A and B are shown apart, each in its own frame.
Chain A
Amino acid sequence: MSDQTVKQEIDARGSACPGPLMELIRGIKSSDVGDTVAVLSSDPGSNKDIPEWVDKIGFELVANEEHDDYQRFVVRKTK
């Protein structure tokens, strides 16, 4: 998945639980079906919360990349 297709990149680093997930949901809400949204999080809780949320809502987790001191999640709004 190339970065060119990511419609929106949200930097939620430095924000504690549940901040990054909330910002991702906000970003997804304002997106169209088919759009892809990325969120950066330095909160370790996101690594469980975000995939679980994506699973529950039924969207697609396109990528979950580990960086030095943060994680980058890419989510596609599939419906």
Chain B
Amino acid sequence: MQDKLNIIVMNGTVDKLLAMTTIVSGAVAMDKKVTLFVTFWGLMAFREGAWQDPAQQTLPAEYQQYGPMMQEAMQKMGVKPWMETLRIAKEIGEVDVYACSMTKDMFGLSMDDLDGIVDAEKGVAGFISMSEGAEVLVF
């Protein structure tokens, strides 16, 4: 059976999203099947267009001072926006993206409000059952 890596995407700050999508890339490269369960602030970052909106590229308060330095370094190094990295990962491997249905309802979002990379919505029990035998990370 193919190895599985399941990730609970809880945070919507750009540092965590970038690290998470880079790890997803490595996982699909190494032939793992990846499932994302996107919840809370993570889901806010998966709203249509949010990843392109500079106002929504936030860092945790304690790291805010590094923002300009990080942005400059990323540009110089040619780091892709996190959503692009995730799209490429989904293109080359198996990546399923589920919106947490409770969060979706809590924030009053519909599937149409979310980026097209989100495949469907799922409840927590469904995600837990999909995580049987999988490594699980929280981001």
Contacts and interface: CB of A to CB of B under 8 A. Distances in A.
Given A17-B22, A18-B22, A18-B85, A25 B80 contact: no
Contacts of A56: 30-31
Interface in A26-76: 26, 29, 43, 49, 53, 56-57
B124 interface: no
Interface of B: 22, 25-26, 29-31, 74, 77-80, 85, 88-89, 91-92
Interface of A: 14-19, 21-22, 25-26, 29, 43, 49, 53, 56-57
A53 B30 CA distance: 7
Chain B: interface secondary structure? helix
A67 to B, nearest CB: 18
Nearest to B28: A25
Listed residue (A14, A16, A43) with the most chain B CB atoms within 10 angstroms of its CB? A16
